[in-house]
Structures are given as structure tokens and as C-alpha cells.
Amino acid sequence: MYHVDGGVMAGGPFGFWAATDAPWAEVPIACWQNLTRSPDWRTVAPRLTEVIGERTLVVHDQARLDVMRRHLPDWQPAGVVLTEPLAREVWPGLNGYALTAMGTRSPLVRGDGALRAGTEAQLVMMLISTMLATVAPGRRADCNGLCAT
């Protein structure tokens, strides 16, 4: 997680490993070492919500937001923007809308094709910037109904 202010990374990276509740077969092997020693979500939750604070949370895909909401049921961020649905609206017909599909040319992509955290944050910032420049000004205020609440 990074704090962004005016399109610039202003804080972070903030990382919070938490014990998984997914079957281990679904967890990348590279994460096992960190996850087996990680605290449970009840321990991580206060630190995570403190870092987010009163900021708007920007995430690319619904699945990540769903994980946070499942583990933080009482948490209400100031706002949430989902960039994947916005990308689908702004650029219909792409072969894929995953961040890896939209940014795999970066030298900061890991050997397994996954994005490094800083690369992912940079791509999300670029997506937001490009999408806001593309979407008509009158539709920006409400994210055209694509902001989660």
C-alpha cells in the first residue's frame, strides 16, 4: 500500500502480511514463508485501517476489496475507487484488464509475471490519471457509478 498525493507516491510502502484463510493450494509458494509466521487479521486490522485513515482507497480489482471487507466488516473507508471497471468503460474490448495484462512490459515485473508492489501502485496511478483525462468532466464526480461504497 502507498499513500498518493497529487499523483505522486507520498508514503509507503506499507505492507501487512496476515495469516491466510485460503487453502494453501491457492497460495503462491513464494508467500508461504511469510504467511506461516503472520499474525491473524484481528491483529493486523488496526494497523491497516490506521494507515488507510480517512483516505480514499483505490484498488484495481474487486477481489482485493472483497478480502479487506471480509476481514474488516466494520471498516468504512472514506471512499473506494475500483480501477478495473473504469478501465473496462474507458477502453472497451481489450484482451485483458488485469494489471499484469496492462503493464507487463515493465522491467519491474517479477520473473513469475507478477507485479511488484511499487509497480502495481504506479500502474494504478497511471490508470487513474489517464482515465480521468479520458472521462468527460461531468462524469468524474460520481465515477459514473463505478465507485464502491
Domains present along the chain, CATH in parentheses: 3-148 (3.30.420)
Q: How confident is the model at residue 46, as a pLDDT?
A: 92
Nine-digit cell string for 61? 480489482
Question: φ and ψ at 148, to 5 degrees?
Answer: -80, 155
On the 0-12 / 13-18 / 19+ scale of CB atoms within 10 A, 138 is exposed
pLDDT tens, position by position, 60-97: 888 889 988 999 988 888 989 888 887 787 778 877 77
pLDDT at residue 55 above 60?
yes
47/34: higher pLDDT: 47
Percentage above 90 pLDDT, the chain: 7
Q: How confident is the model at residue 94, as a pLDDT?
A: 75
Instruction: Say which range, 37-51, 66-80, 134-148, has the weakest mean pLDDT.
Output: 134-148
Q: How confident is the model at residue 145, as a pLDDT?
A: 44
On the 0-12 / 13-18 / 19+ scale of CB atoms within 10 A, 10 is exposed
Closest to 124 in 3D by CA, of 91, 81, 92: 81
Q: How confident is the model at residue 88, as a pLDDT?
A: 82
pLDDT at residue 133 above 70?
no
Nine-digit cell string for 67? 478480502
Closest to 87 in 3D by CA, of 117, 58, 49: 58
C-alpha torsion sign, points 14, 20, 21, 23: positive
pLDDT at residue 113 above 80?
no
